Amino acid sequence: MSGRRHRTLVVDETTVYGWTVRHRHGDGQPCREILTLHRDGLRTRIVFRDGEGRYSGGGGYGAHSGGVGDRRHHLNLHEPGVVRAFVDEAVRRGLLPLDGELDGWELFTAVVLSRAAGATPEAPPGSPPGP
């Protein structure tokens, strides 16, 4: 999948974001994955820089374009559900709308937890208690 592909995320009837994912490196900076959100003329860049125990793109085990993670968790920035989780978390924290840059690692753990909670099925009514 092209890192330059412009996609659309519809949050609700009045909130629509355009988004792209790119891998950048050079200029003496560590590798980084950049999730860019476009809305109402504002451009918000959610940046993930390689660092101790963290990887972005091709920098770690199982890494790929759009892949970011730490030693225990991995997210794919090309997945619309992951992008939606970042948007929801940034809005919840009052960080969006923003014309500027956010540190993606500040949002990473909350997004991992929200994705895990969404993937955990509820017990059907009448089920016996767990183990």
Segment 33-73, tens digit of pLDDT: 999 999 999 999 999 998 888 988 765 555 578 899 998 99
- Closest by alpha carbon to 43, among 55, 34, 52, 51? 34
pLDDT given at position 59: 53
pLDDT given at position 78: 94
Backbone dihedral angles phi then psi of residue 113, each to the nearest 5 degrees: -65, -40
pLDDT given at position 1: 42
* Cα separation, 49 vs 41, whole angstroms: 25
pLDDT given at position 57: 78
Residue 116 has pLDDT above 90, yes or no: no
pLDDT given at position 93: 97
Residue 131: pLDDT band by 50, 70, 90 thresholds?
low
pLDDT given at position 29: 77
Q: Where are the domains of the chain?
A: 7-111
Mean pLDDT of the chain: 86
The answer to whether the beta carbons of residues 87 and 70 sit under 8 Å apart is no
Q: Could you tell me which residue, 51 or 17, shows the higher pLDDT?
A: 17
Q: Can you spell out the DSSP letters for 27-81?
A: TTEEEEEEEEEEETTEEEEEEEE-BTTBEEGGGSTT--TTEEE-SS-EEETTSHH
- Closest by alpha carbon to 71, among 43, 90, 94, 52? 52
pLDDT given at position 38: 97
Residue with tokens 């412009």: 6
Please provide the size of the chain in residues.
131
Residue 65: both structure tokens together = 């374009």
Residue 30 has pLDDT above 80, yes or no: no
Question: Residue 8: enclosing H or E segment and its boundaries?
Answer: strand 7-10
